[in-house]
Amino acid sequence: MTDLNVSSEPVKYNPDFAKEIYALESGEHVKLCMQCGMCALSCATREEMDYSPRKLFLLMRVGKREEFFKANTMWMCSTCLMCKVRCPRGIPLADVMHDLKSHAIKLGYTERPQATFYQSFWQEILNKGRVFEGGLMARYYLKRGWSEMTKGLFEMRDLGMTMLKHNRMPLKSPKSIKGLKSMKQIIERAQAQMHREEGR
């Protein structure tokens, strides 16, 4: 847990940053947070987070933009949906976390391994229309660089061997889907539509 009290100087409230978050796809809902902490209590990965979702929303309200995006909170979310089910204000927290991930990627906050994983996964979709686990792993470790790759491979070596032994990890990549091109066109159009809506 990171202490919110970063300095003894009074923190000045800046209402502008909150507006940036409210403008995200599910951002409107965040306005309704009443700081009850049910999300923190419900979260399966709460202990891994720099700030619980509640505290992250607090940072947003105060206007601490940099701390907000540097926090690992959204990246630790595993989409188990417990917070979304329990939130007394009906905030779809898992959806908000996804908004924050894509927003963070867009802003260039991509240094976390989870961001690399997400980007690799997406590339794998765009590459074949389906996700081939072997391909995903290769992309992920290539992007993370050599040192992490060897470290990762060392840690995962036994696992990989076992999976191979049980035919759980095909080495050969399946073929791309036939409609790959049209799928990508659909996605591009959807992204264009979204940008248009955001521009309004």
Partner 1 sequence: MSKKIGVYICSGCGIGDALDVSALSKVATKEYKAPVCKTDAFLCGKDGVDIIKKDVAEEGVNYVVIAGCSGRVNYDVFDFGPSVVLERVNLRERVVWTQEPDDEDTQAMAEDYMRITLAKLKNLEAPVPFIGEEVSKRIMVVGGGLAGMTSATEAAAAGYEVVLVEKEESLGGWLKKSYKIAPLSPPYTNPEETDLAGRIKKIEDNPNIKVYTLASIEQTAGSPGMFDVTIKQGDAAATERVGAIVLAAGAVPYDPGKLEHLGFGASPNVITQAQLEELAQKGCIARPSDGKAVQKVAFIQCAGSRDQEHLSYCSAACCVESIKQSLYVKEQNPEAAVYVFYKDIRSSGQYEHFYKKAQSEGVIFIKADVTGVSDDGGNITIEADDLLMGSPTMADEIDLVVLANGMVPATAFEDPALGGEAQAEVAAGSDQAAPAPAPIIKSNILNLQYRQGPELPSLKYGFPDSHFICFPYETRRTGIYAAGSVRRPMDMAQAVEDATGAALKAIQCVEMSARGMAVHPRSGDLSYPEFQMNRCTQCKRCTEECPFGAINEDEKSNPLPNPTRCRRCGTCMGACPERIISFKNYSVPMVGNMLKAIEVPEEDEEKPRVLIFACENDAIPALDMAGINRLAYSKWIRIIPVRCLGSLNLIWVNDAMSKGIDGVLLMGCKHGDDYQCHFMKGSELAGIRLSKVSETLDRMGLESDRVYMTEVSIMDYDKIPKIVGDFVDKIEKFGPNPMKGF
Partner 2 sequence: MRYSFYPGCSMEGAAVPYLKSFEAVTKALGIGIEEIHDWNCCGATVASGVVGHYPAQVMTARNLALAEQKGLDIIVPCSSCYMNLAITNKKFIEDDHFQLMANEALGVAGLRYNGTLKVRQMIEWIINDIGLDRIKSMVKRPLTGLRVAGYVGCQTPRVFPWTFDDPEQPVFFDKIIEALGATPVKFPLKARCCGSSHSITKPEITIDAGYKLIKSALEDGGQLMVTPCPMCQLNLDAYQGMIKKGYQLDISIPVLFITQLMSIAFDLPPDTWALKYNIVSPFDTLSKYGIKP
**Rule CB under 8 A: which of 48-87 touch partner 1?**
55, 58, 61-62
Please tell me whether residue 22 binds partner 2 under the rule CB under 8 A: no
Q: What are phi and psi of 106, to 5 degrees?
A: -60, -35
Q: To the nearest whole angstrom, how small is the minimum distance from the Cβ of residue 181 to partner 2?
A: 8
Please tell me whether residue 25 binds partner 2 under the rule CB under 8 A: yes
Q: To the nearest whole angstrom, how small is the minimum distance from the Cβ of residue 1 to partner 1?
A: 12
Q: Which two tokens stand for residue 146?
A: 């050599």
What gap in Å lies between CA 46 and CA 39, rounded to an integer? 9
186 makes contact, choosing from partner 2, partner 1, none, with CB < 5 to 8 Å by partner type, with partner 2
Q: Which two tokens stand for residue 166?
A: 């049980």
What gap in Å lies between CA 128 and CA 7, rounded to an integer? 49
**Are 126 and 184 contacting, i.e. CB atoms less than 8 angstroms apart?**
yes
Please tell me whether residue 57 binds partner 2 under the rule CB under 8 A: no
Q: Which two tokens stand for residue 38?
A: 């049910």
Which residues are CB-contacts of 53 (< 8 A; sequence separation ≥ 6)? 39, 40, 43, 73, 83, 93, 96, 97
Please tell me whether residue 40 binds partner 2 under the rule CB under 8 A: no
Which string of b and e fits 19-31 if b means at least 16 CB within 10 Å?
Answer: eebeebbbbebbe
Please tell me whether residue 4 binds partner 1 under the rule CB under 8 A: yes
**Residues touching partner 1: how many (CB under 8 A)?**
26
Residues making contact with partner 1 (CB under 8 A): 3-13, 15, 18-19, 22, 28, 31-35, 55, 58, 61-62, 89
Residues making contact with partner 2 (CB under 8 A): 25-26, 44-45, 48, 74, 76, 78-82, 84-85, 95, 97-99, 101-102, 105, 113-114, 116-119, 121-122, 125, 129-134, 137, 140, 155-156, 158-159, 162-163, 166-170, 174, 177-180, 182-183, 185-191, 193-194
